[in-house]
């Protein structure tokens, strides 16, 4: 599906840390990309959002998911493993934003379809570069 410059990129940020949410919002605001950012505070809320359950019946389908691995209620890796087939079928790109530098987390993330893995603190230049790259696709 070609992406025109007028339509915003639907982004779902799955993050429980308010400081990281604020930083990601600032990076998007500073980027020249048209975007619409939704935020889920834990894995269970994210699954409801993605499956359009309850309050999320009208939730937009994201093209990009920014996923923290350490989440309350349902961990990021567990969520990614469950949702991976549906996400890849729909062409959704998943970027991991985490404190974990563990090789196992990195391997599991890519095994389950993540396209990038960034260790916090989030580097706004790297995130901007990633966004520009994803815009091209």
Q: Which helix (H) or strand (E) holds 133?
A: helix 124-135
pTM given for the model: 0.88
What's the CA gap between 122 and 6, in Å, rounded? 27
Task: Say which residue, 65 or 28, is predicted with more confidence.
Answer: 65
Task: Say which residue, 67 or 133, is predicted with more confidence.
Answer: 67
Return the pLDDT at 35: 87
Which domains are seen in the chain, by residue range?
A: 9-131 (3.40.50.2300)
Residue 6: band (very low, low, confident or very high) from pLDDT cuts 50, 70, 90: low
Per-residue pLDDT tens digits for 89-126:
888 999 999 999 999 999 999 999 999 999 988 777 87
Mean pLDDT throughout 45-65?
92
């Amino acid at each position: 599906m070609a992406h025109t410059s007028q339509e915003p990129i639907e982004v779902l940020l799955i993050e429980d840390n308010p400081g990281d949410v604020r930083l990601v919002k600032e990076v998007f605001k500073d980027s020249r990309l048209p975007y619409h950012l939704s935020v889920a505070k834990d894995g269970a809320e994210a699954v409801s959002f993605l499956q359009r359950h309850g309050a999320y019946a009208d939730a937009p389908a994201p093209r990009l998911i920014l996923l923290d691995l350490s989440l309350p209620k349902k961990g990021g890796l567990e969520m990614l493993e469950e949702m991976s087939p549906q996400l890849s079928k729909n062409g959704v790109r998943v970027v991991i934003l985490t404190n974990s530098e563990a090789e196992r987390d990195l391997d599991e993330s890519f095994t389950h379809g993540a396209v990038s893995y960034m260790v916090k603190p989030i580097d706004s230049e790297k995130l901007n570069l990633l966004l520009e790259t994803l815009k091209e696709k």
